[in-house]
């Protein structure tokens, strides 16, 4: 007796009645009706629980279908997506919950289906597989706000009037909080220092500043690769952390922020430098206040960041004092100190500062604050850099290969 006939419910009802007869072989009965024993038990159980109505086919519409979501919820999700074009479903969900705390939010997969149906779902790019055969040492990881600030230049942007703009970006590595996006016409030391003075007055001092090896943060021409800017940071008690050249992943979160910034703003760039700055300021506020991060348990940077307890003292750079046992020497405007009647080159970045000289058993060490610059060669009156000092990673030298001529 085939199962697929005109009155399916009647056949199921007859099957159930037959199965309730005494002494019936249930497996053979299912075979007669052309169904599996699993299917037979299902219809028998439904009849016992629901009667004849339980033998009717039930709708297969999922309980959490997008069609059941309120229309205003769907419109609000689409509205958020149109405003935050580069946000995914997870971030949109967090913003929805923030805007409508009294509503029951849809789940992430539902938002993805809504966006896909509206043609707003981006195709995810496949990432290149990472070669895990060789482990790399990564820089120190921040474990609280103001532990590490990262700094870099975004790279030259141009206004419609062909003015060059070089945005300086500073962020807190732990909270992802962007402290500054400053448009600078020059990326020189005075311009960058002025911006850091402003930031230090507002937010206090970090423990560490991480940068690359380029100017104005570092120089291959001086002791420790220091510049006047980085010497000033050291004078304030801030440690330096430099990434290795060609390894931007060591400052990966900062580079990712640059990528988001370029992707979201490059189509809106209009006007002069002043309008650039207004655009950057608006984006920075939205990034800090609205954008949740998975690494922050979907909280925003503004919810995590707090100001530093280390207050900025504008006079700290001239108040460096050395403990008992040190001799203090002033670096003149040519970068030299006088020690026992001999001129010793410290470097122009230290001009105007005091360094400490400590005589040990068989050597003399030169210090700048808590940082040992190196030991003094008392025959040549030169400083040998300390092996644990900050290093500028010099570019690799390329040597030409000479091949013998065929006639040789």
Same domain, 331 and 279: no
Q: Does 406 map to a domain? A: no
Separation between Cα atoms, residue 53 and residue 50, nearest integer Å: 6
Same domain, 350 and 264: no
**Structural domain span for residue 324:** 320-385
Residue 159 has pLDDT above 80, yes or no: no
Same domain, 176 and 288: yes
Q: Which two tokens stand for residue 408?
A: 């040789």
pLDDT band at 274 (very low <50, low <70, confident <90, very high): confident
Same domain, 51 and 73: no
- Asked if 344 and 356 touch (Cβ cutoff 8 Å), the reply is no
Among the ranges given (124-138, 300-314, 358-372, 377-391), the one the predictor scored with the smallest mean pLDDT: 124-138
Same domain, 297 and 175: yes
Separation between Cα atoms, residue 135 and residue 120, nearest integer Å: 39
Separation between Cα atoms, residue 225 and residue 219, nearest integer Å: 5
Q: Does 400 map to a domain? A: no
Q: Average pLDDT, stretch 380-393?
A: 61
Q: Average pLDDT, stretch 353-371?
A: 87
Same domain, 196 and 331: no
Q: Does 138 map to a domain? A: no
pLDDT at 398: 39
pLDDT at 317: 63
Q: How far apart are the first and last CA of the chain?
A: 96
pLDDT at 208: 94
Among the ranges given (19-28, 225-234, 288-297, 312-321), the one the predictor scored with the smallest mean pLDDT: 312-321
Residue 283 has pLDDT above 60, yes or no: yes
pLDDT at 244: 77
Q: Does 123 map to a domain? A: no
Q: Does 181 map to a domain? A: yes
Q: Does 96 map to a domain? A: yes
Q: Measuring CA to CA, which residue among 237, 238, 255 is closest to residue 246?
A: 255
Same domain, 161 and 268: yes
pLDDT band at 12 (very low <50, low <70, confident <90, very high): confident
Q: Measuring CA to CA, which residue among 323, 317, 356 is closest to residue 339?
A: 356
Whichever domain contains 275, its CATH number is 3.30.420.10
Q: Measuring CA to CA, which residue among 83, 30, 39 is closest to residue 57?
A: 39
pLDDT at 320: 80
pLDDT at 238: 92
pLDDT at 392: 47
Highest mean pLDDT among 220-224, 333-337, 359-363, 397-401: 333-337
pLDDT band at 304 (very low <50, low <70, confident <90, very high): very high
Domain boundary among 78, 98, 117: 117
Instruction: Quote the DSSP letter at residue 293.
Output: B
pTM reported for the whole predicted model = 0.67
- For 159, counting Cβ atoms within 10 Å of its Cβ (0-12 exposed, 13-18 middle, 19+ buried), the class is middle
Q: Does 402 map to a domain? A: no
Same domain, 325 and 366: yes
Please write the tens of the pLDDT for every residue from 189-222. Answer: 999 999 999 999 999 999 999 988 888 888 877 7
Same domain, 210 and 281: yes
Residue 401 has pLDDT above 50, yes or no: no
Domain boundary among 260, 277, 304: 304
Same domain, 227 and 339: no
Higher local confidence (pLDDT), 137 or 223: 223
Among the ranges given (52-61, 183-192, 213-222), the one the predictor scored with the smallest mean pLDDT: 52-61
Residue 380 has pLDDT above 50, yes or no: yes
Could you give the angle at which helices 108-117 and 89-99 cross, rounded to 10 degrees?
110
Among the ranges given (63-67, 271-275, 375-379), the one the predictor scored with the smallest mean pLDDT: 63-67
C-alpha distances out from residue 262 to 83, 155, 257, 327, 332, Å: 16, 10, 9, 51, 44
Same domain, 157 and 242: yes
Q: Does 293 map to a domain? A: yes
Q: Which two tokens stand for residue 185?
A: 């016409």
Task: Please give the tally of structural domains in the chain.
Answer: 4
Q: What is the mean pLDDT of the chain?
A: 79
Same domain, 195 and 300: yes
């Amino acid at each position: 007796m085939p199962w697929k006939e005109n009155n399916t419910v009647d056949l199921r009802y007859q099957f159930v009645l037959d199965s309730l007869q005494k002494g019936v072989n249930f497996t053979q009965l299912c075979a007669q009706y052309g169904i599996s024993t699993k299917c037979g038990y299902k219809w028998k159980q439904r009849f016992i629980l629901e009667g004849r109505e339980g033998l009717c086919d039930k709708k297969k519409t999922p309980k959490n279908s997008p069609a059941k979501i309120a229309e205003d919820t769907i419109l609000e999700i689409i509205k958020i997506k149109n405003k935050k074009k580069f946000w995914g479903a997870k971030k949109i969900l967090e913003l929805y919950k923030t805007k409508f705390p009294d509503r029951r939010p849809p789940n992430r997969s539902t938002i993805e289906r809504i966006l896909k149906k509206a043609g707003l779902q981006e195709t995810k790019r496949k990432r290149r597989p990472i070669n895990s055969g060789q482990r790399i040492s990564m820089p120190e990881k921040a474990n609280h706000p103001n532990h590490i600030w990262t700094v870099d230049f975004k790279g030259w942007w141009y206004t419609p009037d062909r003015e060059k703009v070089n945005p300086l970006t500073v962020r807190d590595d732990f909270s992802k909080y962007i402290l500054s996006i400053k448009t600078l016409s020059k990326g020189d030391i005075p311009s960058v220092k002025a911006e850091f003075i402003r930031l230090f007055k507002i937010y206090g001092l970090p423990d560490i500043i991480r940068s690359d090896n380029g100017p104005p943060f570092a120089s291959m021409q001086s002791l420790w690769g220091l510049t006047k800017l980085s010497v000033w940071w050291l004078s304030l008690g801030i440690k330096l952390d430099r990434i290795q050249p060609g390894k931007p992943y060591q400052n990966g979160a900062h580079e990712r922020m640059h990528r988001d910034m370029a992707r979201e703003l490059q189509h809106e760039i209009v006007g002069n430098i002043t309008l650039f700055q207004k655009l950057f300021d608006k984006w920075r506020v939205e990034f800090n206040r609205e954008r949740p991060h998975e690494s922050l348990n979907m909280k925003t940077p503004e919810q995590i960041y707090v100001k530093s307890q280390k207050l900025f003292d504008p006079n700290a750079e001239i108040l460096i004092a050395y403990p008992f046992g040190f001799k203090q020497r002033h670096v003149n405007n040519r970068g030299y100190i006088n020690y026992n009647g001999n001129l010793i080159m410290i470097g122009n970045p230290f001009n105007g500062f005091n360094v400490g000289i400590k005589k040990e058993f068989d050597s003399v060490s030169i210090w700048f604050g808590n940082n040992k610059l190196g030991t003094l060669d008392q025959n040549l009156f030169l400083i040998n850099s300390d092996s644990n000092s900050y290093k500028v990673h010099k570019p690799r030298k390329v040597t030409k290969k000479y091949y013998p001529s065929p006639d040789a």
